[in-house]
Chains A and B, each alone.
Chain A
Amino acid sequence: MDLDTVLDKTEDIELRLLLDAIYRRYHYDFRGYSMASITRRLRQAREHFGCRTLSQLQDRVLHDPAVLPELLSYLTVQVSELFRDPPYFRAIRERVVPHLRTYPSLKVWVAGCSAGEELYSLAILFREEGLEERTMFYGTDINPEAIRKAEAGVYEIERLPLFTENHRLSGGKSSLSDYYTAAYGAAVFDKTLRRRAVFSDHSLVTDAVFAEVHLVSCRNVLIYFDRQLQDRAVGLFKDSLVRKGFLGLGAKESLRFNAHADAFAEFARDERIYQKRGAS
């Protein structure tokens, strides 16, 4: 074995010890995440914190809790948009909403909601479709900073042209500008949109089902999990959904390799929307 291979193996050991330390000390469990992406982001964090090795970073995070929030911003990927992948929201609007209309009251769970972009998109869509008054929205995430931002509902104004175009392409029936006011370089979203929304801390890795819901939208979260964790998360969605409830995933996510694939039927194939099967 040459020296490089030895070094690589050492980093691998350090990485696992670091994730274990974070879990034991702070109960954030990244041990079953996709290692390729976690490795990359922890190397970036190591550089950012000026540490020579991941072991040094472990020392820092164990002894200085103030480091954790910043480290979490490396460990979780916060990229999102309003109406990201407009065809998804168009399919929710045109194909899922007609089913949802048949229920007198609705619950929607946006799992891994980041700074709220996906939840606000659905809230706007439900208002446009006249379903808002009968719906409760639950937005969950493990990143406290993301939840804070989601509760505030304030986005940089530079992002609005993209959001506006996405909303239009999703089949939006109103103007996105109806839902926010621009102030000091920021777009502040209408508070009434979150009248029926609750944002809370919940981990798909370590927490349990908390409500019976009609639609789960969990987009671009599962790609960061290894297969066992993906199985766990989809198991939670299965247990949480009503019979014939809907599960929407990210544009490149599917149940193809998932242990619970049989519990769902493909509903909108290209948009990655599934429907839970009836009792079998």
Chain B
Amino acid sequence: MTTGSPLPVPHAPRAEAVVIGASAGAVDALSVILPALPEGYPLPVMVVVHVPPNKKSIMAELFRNKCRVDVREADDKEPLAPGTVYFAPPDYHLLVEPDRRLSLSSEEPVHYSRPAIDVLFESAADAFGPALVAVLLTGASSDGACGLKAVCDAGGAALVQHPDEAAMPTMPRAGIAACPKASVMYLEQIAGHLRDLGRRP
């Protein structure tokens, strides 16, 4: 675990994709991160937020007007495009295929949640290996911890929101425990880091 403010962040060489997981407090946290992504951002960003399965999706609509990148709900077998934020639809798991298309699944909930962060992170770790950056944010769950470990094990970079700042520190704490190599950061730092990933040649 690394703490403190100006940090040299150990990140993946040539990041090719970003995955983000958040639960309780997600909207406020994502409101710091997603609008910070600049127009022409070169990476795809996949996001799982724990939402009730009442089948009405709001996340993509909520963020579409606040962001300079394209924001949408993921479609099955959609090829990943740069500069696009994909939200998992309510009641489906979101996964990345080895050929870097998205796929959806209605298999059992994980940690009582569908979509589950672990499912996205683990499949993205398989698909992108060291070229993945995973971000685990606020939440009152332990979802995402196994996924974050899978990302680290595959050589990818793990960023966790500082538990002191998180609306719900349970999920960040579980992530740090499962993945001690993770960089612990405040939201503004995470936003800055993701923005910088896009600037690298």
A residues near B, CB below 8 A?
A: 2, 4-5, 8, 12, 34-37, 39-41, 77, 79, 85, 220, 222-224, 226-227, 230, 251-254, 256-257
Contact = CB atoms under 8 A, between A and B. Distances in A.
B129 A36 contact: no
Nearest to A76: B107
Contacts of B154: 4-5, 8
A251 B95 CA distance: 17
Contact of B105 (A5, A12, A223, A251): A223
A54 to B, nearest CB: 14
A223 B76 CA distance: 6
Given A36-B103, A37-B93, 20 more contacts: A4-B155, A5-B129, A8-B129, A8-B154, A12-B98, A34-B97, A35-B97, A35-B98, A36-B95, A36-B98, A36-B123, A37-B103, A40-B95, A40-B122, A40-B123, A77-B105, A79-B107, A222-B76, A223-B76, A256-B75
Q: Report the contact-size class of chain B (Cβ under 8 Å from the partner).
A: 20 to 34
A37 B107 CA distance: 9
Contacts of B87: none
A39 B77 contact: no
Nearest to B123: A36
B199 interface: no
B77 A230 contact: yes
Given A36-B98, A254-B75, A223 B126 contact: no
Contacts of B119: 40
Contacts of A41: 107
A36 B127 contact: yes
11 contacts: A4-B153, A4-B155, A5-B129, A36-B96, A36-B97, A36-B126, A39-B123, A223-B103, A230-B77, A252-B76, A253-B76
A223 to B, nearest CB: 5
B65 to A, nearest CB: 21
B77 A37 contact: no
Nearest to B97: A36
Interface string B88-123: 010011011110010111111000000000010011
A25 to B, nearest CB: 25
Contacts of A37: 93, 95, 103, 105, 107, 123
A77 B95 CA distance: 15
Contact of A39 (B55, B106, B126, B129): B126
A223 B123 contact: no
A258 to B, nearest CB: 9
Interface in B51-97: 55, 75-78, 89, 92-93, 95-97
Contacts of A257: 77-78
Nearest to B79: A257
B97 to A, nearest CB: 5
Nearest to B103: A34
